[in-house]
Structures are given as structure tokens and as C-alpha cells.
């Protein structure tokens, strides 16, 4: 039997945690497989993708800056990837056809469901802060369930979400982000505020119901100032590491034939790197 091969492409790629988590699963399940970190310069992306059809790999994860460019290079783009406007997973199919999908919305929802199983986070309006790449997957996932209030420093970017995702998405001025929390059942930070080396997220939480779930997609540090303040007032919280772990599951399952589990041991292994 030949070794099953997959990997992650990006430029730069040294920081990617994907090899750690796929490597953990391969060892844990005793699968004869490999998952490589593959640096692909933007100019060589078309050649790499063409090669992928015949080079024996099962597929790849795609990270910055290639998530949008690969959409034009694969044969099929799954509906959710189309809606999000980015591909993060490519599966090589029989005959060398390439299918691109986006597993970020899945990873986001799975993380919330497993991190806060008793919280009905879509029972009321859901507030999303930020309107960058990560927000697209988050809003795509949430708009299916109900009303999303999106607030971003640059209002033109929030407006893009209203146009793309329709009536369920309402744009809120960044200055009114604290008032937007009134009656909310979920608050998600998708901005880079709170990340190591960035300023903390500046938002008063007084209007947020204490039952509302608070989630930060930032996972370095794991416990952001936002999560700390939310916990101190009694809100349930879910940290951002689980989104990274759960979004990897569909790719692993397609390439290596097993739906892997997200466990405390996996979290620890990824945090230790």
C-alpha cells in the first residue's frame, strides 16, 4: 500500500499549525500517511495546482495568500466556498479532478456546538465584530440561523456582507458596537484586536445579556481580554483554537479515510508548538 500524502500550501508557510494537528491524527490513528508543509510562491501557484492532478497527493489545505486565487484553478468549487469567496481545502478526485471547498464555517459551528453544548447561541440576534476574511465564514455560518449584526471599523466592508448574505445581515456602525449587544445571544470577535502584539478589543459589555455566548476567533493568546471580561460577568465563552482544529476534520477525512476527533490531547499538542 502506498503512503497517503497531503499537505498545506501557502507563502509564507512556516507558521502553519496544520502539520502539527494532521501529524497528531496520523500517529493517533496509526495511518500510513504524511502531511507536508509546502511553500508555494504566488507565481508558481498555477503550476503547483496543475501538478496536483497527477503527482499522487490526495489533496491540500490552502492558506494565505492563495485562498481566493485557487478558486479559478480547480474544477469544482463547493457552494459554501463560493458563498464565502475562498477555498481552504482541495481534494483530488478520481481522474485528477480537483474539488475546492471551504471548511471554516463548519469548523466555526462545530467549535461553538462542542464548546458550549448547552447554549442556544442563535436564539437571538448574533453580533459579529470585524468584516475581514475570517468574518466571511462566520457570517455565512450564522446567517442561516437568524439575524446577524455586523460592526466593522470600515463600514464599506460591512455593507459588502449585507449585499452578499441578504436580509438576515444588518450593518451597525463601529461606534455603536456596544449598543448592538442589547438582546444578543452571541458575540463573536473576528477582528485582529486582542491578538498578541495588537491592542485589546475595546467594547463595553454592559448591554450584553449574561446568557449570551462570547467567542473570540483569536487563539494567541487563548484567553483574550474579551474572554476574560466576559467570564468575569458570567457569560459562557468559547476560545478560538477549536475552530482551527475542527476546520481540519473534513480534509483529513477525505484524504486519509477517517473522521478524526478533536480531543483535549490534540489541543495540548497544538498549544505546545
What are the catalytic residues? Answer: 67
Residue nearest to ligand ATR (CB): 132
CB of 161 to ligand ATR, least distance (A): 11
Whether a cis peptide bond, with omega within 30° of 0, leads into 188 is no
Residues touching ligand ATR, count (CB under 6 A): 14
Within 129-188, the residues that bind ligand ATR by CB under 6 A are: 130-135, 152-154, 157
Q: Which 8-state DSSP code applies to residue 200?
A: P
Long-range contacts of 63-72 (CB under 8 A, 24+ apart): 63/8, 63/9, 63/10, 63/13, 63/16, 63/18, 63/88, 64/10, 64/11, 65/10, 65/11, 66/9, 66/10, 66/11, 66/40, 66/42, 67/133, 69/42, 69/45, 70/45, 70/100, 71/100
70 sits near ligand ATR (criterion: CB under 6 A): no
198: cell is 495588537
Quote the CA–CA distance of 118 and 166 in Å, as a whole number.
29
Place of cell 449598543: 179
Residues in the chain: 273
Nearer to ligand ATR, 93 or 192 (CB): 192
- Is-contact 120 146, C-beta < 8 A? no
Mark residues 86-125: x for contact with ligand ATR by CB under 6 A, - for none: ----------------------------------------
Quote the CA–CA distance of 186 and 213 in Å, as a whole number.
5
Nearer to ligand ATR, 32 or 154 (CB): 154
Pairing of strands 98-101, 89-92: antiparallel
The H helix count followed by the E strand count for the chain is: 10, 12
Identify which range of 79-87, 102-110, 127-135, 177-185 contacts ligand ATR by CB under 6 A.
127-135
CB of 156 to ligand ATR, least distance (A): 9
CB of 111 to ligand ATR, least distance (A): 16
Mark residues 191-230: x for contact with ligand ATR by CB under 6 A, - for none: xxx-------------------------------------
CB of 139 to ligand ATR, least distance (A): 11
CB of 157 to ligand ATR, least distance (A): 5
Interface contacts to ligand ATR, rule CB under 6 A: 130-135, 152-154, 157, 190-193
Amino acid at each position: 500500500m502506498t503512503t497517503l500524502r497531503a499537505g498545506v500550501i501557502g507563502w509564507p508557510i512556516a507558521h502553519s499549525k496544520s502539520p502539527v494537528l494532521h501529524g497528531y491524527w496520523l500517529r493517533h490513528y496509526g495511518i500510513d500517511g504524511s502531511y507536508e508543509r509546502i511553500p508555494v510562491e504566488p507565481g508558481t501557484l498555477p503550476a503547483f495546482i496543475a501538478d496536483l492532478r497527477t503527482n499522487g497527493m490526495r489533496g491540500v489545505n490552502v492558506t494565505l495568500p492563495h485562498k481566493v486565487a485557487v478558486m479559478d484553478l480547480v474544477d469544482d468549487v463547493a457552494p459554501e466556498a463560493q458563498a464565502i469567496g475562498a477555498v481552504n481545502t482541495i481534494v483530488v478526485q478520481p481522474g485528477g479532478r480537483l474539488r475546492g471547498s471551504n471548511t471554516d464555517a463548519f469548523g466555526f459551528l462545530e467549535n461553538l456546538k462542542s464548546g458550549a453544548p448547552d447554549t442556544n447561541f442563535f436564539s437571538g440576534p448574533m453580533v459579529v465584530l470585524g468584516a475581514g476574511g475570517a468574518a466571511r465564514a462566520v457570517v455565512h455560518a450564522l446567517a442561516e440561523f437568524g439575524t446577524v449584526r455586523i460592526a466593522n471599523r470600515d463600514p464599506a466592508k460591512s455593507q459588502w456582507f449585507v449585499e452578499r448574505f441578504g436580509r438576515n445581515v444588518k450593518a451597525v456602525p463601529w461606534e455603536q458596537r456596544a449598543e448592538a449587544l442589547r438582546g444578543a445571544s452571541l458575540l463573536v470577535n473576528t477582528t485582529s484586536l486582542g491578538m498578541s502584539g495588537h491592542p485589546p478589543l475595546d467594547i463595553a459589555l454592559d448591554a450584553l445579556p449574561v446568557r449570551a455566548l462570547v467567542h473570540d476567533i483569536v487563539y494567541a493568546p487563548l484567553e483574550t481580554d474579551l474572554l476574560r471580561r466576559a467570564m468575569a460577568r458570567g457569560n459562557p465563552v468559547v476560545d478560538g483554537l477549536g475552530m482551527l482544529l475542527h476546520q481540519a476534520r473534513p480534509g483529513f477525512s477525505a484524504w486519509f479515510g477517517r473522521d478524526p476527533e478533536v480531543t483535549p490531547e490534540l489541543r495540548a499538542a497544538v498549544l505546545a508548538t
